[in-house]
């Protein structure tokens, strides 16, 4: 087996391979899909000496199995034939080598969260450009999850939000967070829940927090379950101002979270009327629901279960990053059975890539996921809102 061959020659390889050959091998292995760009950069940038770079390279490839190890041996033969012969290697490859992934094809999405490796975590702990995560801090993670599903006025009920709540609870738990969960809150109760959360005893020992709020919304606010049809523009509405999140969790109000990532995900809405079976999570009554009995003949069948969600907010505090369901002038969609498209994509991307990507890259991949939005004549693009993270944050699932 090729991985055992690499194990056999590991010591001699580390002693003998040149820095130039290491760089060439990295280029070859990235092109083959054995390593990704982040792994290649980490090997070069996070190891000071040539020997450490060589050691890290051979160990990572060896752990990826027989096919990856075979490819490295083949490339070593072409890049440094004398070293190849000195090590006594054989470049026979397995009969069914895995081809390099086609970047034009979507990845195979994982149904469960892939755990990071101990080696990857240890390698990152030497990187000063990331927020450090210790095993003790990992055990003290805590997240706030608020979902409004049923409203005092039943026509505001958010069909499919039960699935969002379930999906986010499972994902947060898998990422190592103790989930503080609330359902069907007024705006005042949302504010109290956030205030109580800012005093949670685990915050002083955690490495990060996640706050997820899903409800109806208007610009700059999330609506509570007592929201109603406004009689006039100045009428007070049952709402929670989004900026309160950043005020309550800021360094002065919540010193326990000083210099720790505060990750915000908001699925709320502002939108326009989109047809008989589409419900907009908006404060305006004419956008909340339409004639549900007679679907519009111009609406394709696969659009009939989609509903609208939109929100935008602004914050200035340090170490925050937020992902909103769409840009200010567009709508976002929620399936009545499967839940919000944003939440579905977040779960897919995090399950598949959280073991190796930082949170900003994960959010970028979620946004990229919407480039292939399959509903004709409908578009949605989530937005990262004024990220103030000063380093990269990795979740290290399974640590």
Q: What pLDDT score does 315 carry?
A: 40
Count other C-beta atoms under 10 Å from residue 64's C-beta. 17
CA separation for the pair 5, 20 (Å, rounded): 22
211 beta partners: 144, 264
CB 222 within 8 A of CB 213: yes
Per residue in 40-69, pLDDT (tens digit) is: 888 998 898 999 999 999 999 998 888 889
Of 281, 303, 331, 320, give the one whose Cα is nearest residue 158. Answer: 281
HSE, CB side, 13 Å, CA atoms: give it for residue 229.
9
pLDDT per residue, tens digit, the chain (399 aa), is 788 888 899 999 999 999 999 999 999 998 888 999 888 888 998 898 999 999 999 999 998 888 889 899 999 988 888 888 888 887 654 444 445 555 556 678 999 999 999 989 998 988 889 999 999 999 999 999 999 999 999 988 998 899 999 999 999 999 999 999 999 999 999 999 999 999 999 999 999 999 999 998 877 788 899 988 764 455 678 999 989 999 999 988 999 999 999 999 999 864 443 422 334 444 443 323 322 232 333 434 455 566 555 433 334 478 999 998 766 656 667 788 888 888 999 999 999 999 999 999 999 999 998 887 666 666 778 888 879 999 999 999 999
- Is the pTM above the cut of 0.85? no
Torsion of CA 27, 363, 306, 279, to 10 degrees: -160
Count other C-beta atoms under 10 Å from residue 34's C-beta. 25
Of 261, 210, 242, give the one whose Cα is nearest residue 312. Answer: 242
CA separation for the pair 138, 47 (Å, rounded): 25
Architecture of domain 118-385: 3-Layer(aba) Sandwich (3.40)
CATH 1.10.533.10 matches 2-87: yes
CA separation for the pair 189, 196 (Å, rounded): 10
Q: What pLDDT score does 229 carry?
A: 73
* Phi, psi of 374, rounded to the nearest 5 degrees: -90, -10
**HEC readout, the chain:** CHHHHHHHHHHHHHHHCCHHHHHHHHHHHHHHCCCCHHHHHHHHHCCCCHHHHHHHHHHHHHHCCHHHHHHHHHHHHHHCHHHHHHHCCCCCCCCCCCCCCCCCCCCCCCCCCCCCCHHHHHHHCCCCCECCCCHHHHHCCEEEEEECCCCCCHHHCCCCHHHHHHHHHHHHHHCCCEEEEEECCCHHHHHHHHHHHCCCHHHHCCCCEEEEEECCEECCEEECCCCCCCCCCCCCCCEEECHHHHHHCCCCCCHHHCCCCEEEEEECCCCCCCCCCCCECCCCHHHCCCCCCCCCCCCCHHHCCEEEECCCCCCCCCCEEEEECCCCCCCEEEECCCEEHHHHHHHHHHHHHCCCCEHHHHHHHHHHHHHHCCCCCCCCCCEEECCCCCCECECCCCC
188 CB contacts (<8 Å, ≥6 apart)? Answer: 224, 238, 240
Question: Of the residues 75, 216, 315, 355, which is catalytic?
Answer: 216
Q: What pLDDT score does 279 carry?
A: 41
CB 355 within 8 A of CB 133: no
Looking at the chain, which residues constitute the CATH 1.10.533.10 domain(s)? 2-87
Question: Of the residues 254, 269, 313, 326, which is catalytic?
Answer: 269
Q: What pLDDT score does 361 carry?
A: 96
* Phi, psi of 340, rounded to the nearest 5 degrees: -60, 140
Q: In what order do the strands lie in the sheet with 178-183?
A: 178-183, 142-147, 209-214, 262-267, 320-324, 383-385
Per residue in 271-294, pLDDT (tens digit) is: 443 422 334 444 443 323 322 232
Active site residue 216: yes
309 beta partners: 332
Looking at the chain, which residues constitute the CATH 3.40.50.1460 domain(s)? 118-385
CB 274 within 8 A of CB 305: no
Q: What pLDDT score does 329 carry?
A: 56
CA separation for the pair 53, 298 (Å, rounded): 60
CA separation for the pair 51, 209 (Å, rounded): 38
């Amino acid at each position: 087996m090729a991985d055992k061959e690499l194990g056999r020659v590991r010591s001699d390889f580390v002693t003998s391979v040149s820095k130039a050959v290491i760089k060439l091998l990295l280029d070859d292995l990235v092109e083959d899909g054995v390593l990704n760009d982040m792994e290649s950069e980490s090997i070069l940038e996070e190891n000071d000496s040539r020997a450490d770079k060589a050691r890290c390279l051979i160990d990572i490839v060896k752990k990826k199995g027989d096919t990856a190890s075979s490819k490295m041996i083949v490339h070593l033969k072409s890049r440094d034939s004398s070293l190849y012969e000195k090590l006594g290697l054989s470049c026979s490859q397995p009969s069914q080598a895995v081809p390099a992934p086609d970047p034009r094809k979507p990845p195979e999405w994982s149904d469960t969260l892939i755990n990071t490796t101990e080696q990857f975590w240890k390698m990152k702990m030497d990187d000063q450009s990331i927020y450090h995560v210790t095993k003790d801090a990992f055990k003290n993670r805590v997240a706030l999850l608020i979902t409004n599903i049923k409203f005092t006025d039943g026509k505001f009920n958010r069909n499919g939000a039960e699935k969002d709540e379930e999906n986010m609870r499972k994902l947060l738990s898998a990422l190592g967070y103790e989930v503080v969960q609330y359902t069907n809150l007024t705006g005042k109760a949302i504010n109290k829940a956030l205030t109580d959360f800012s005093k949670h005893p685990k915050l002083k020992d955690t490495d990060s927090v996640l706050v997820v709020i899903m409800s109806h919304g208007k610009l700059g606010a999330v609506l509570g379950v007592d929201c109603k049809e406004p009689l006039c523009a100045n009428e007070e509405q049952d709402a929670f101002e989004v900026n309160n999140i950043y005020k309550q969790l800021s360094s002065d109000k919540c010193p326990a979270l000083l210099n720790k990532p505060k990750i915000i995900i908001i699925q709320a809405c502002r939108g326009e009327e989109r047809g008989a079976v589409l419900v907009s999570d908006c404060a305006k009554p004419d956008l909340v629901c339409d004639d549900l009995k007679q679907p519009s003949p111009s609406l394709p069948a696969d659009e009939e279960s989609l509903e609208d969600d939109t929100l935008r907010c602004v914050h200035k505090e340090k170490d925050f990053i937020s992902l909103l369901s769409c840009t200010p002038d567009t709508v976002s969609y929620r399936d009545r059975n499967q839940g919000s498209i944003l939440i579905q994509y977040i779960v897919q991307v995090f399950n598949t890539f959280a073991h190796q990507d930082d949170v900003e890259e994960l959010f970028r991949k979620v946004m990229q996921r919407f480039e292939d939005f399959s509903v004709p004549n409908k578009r949605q693009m989530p937005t990262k809102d004024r990220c103030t993270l000063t380093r990269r944050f990795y979740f290290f699932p399974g640590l």
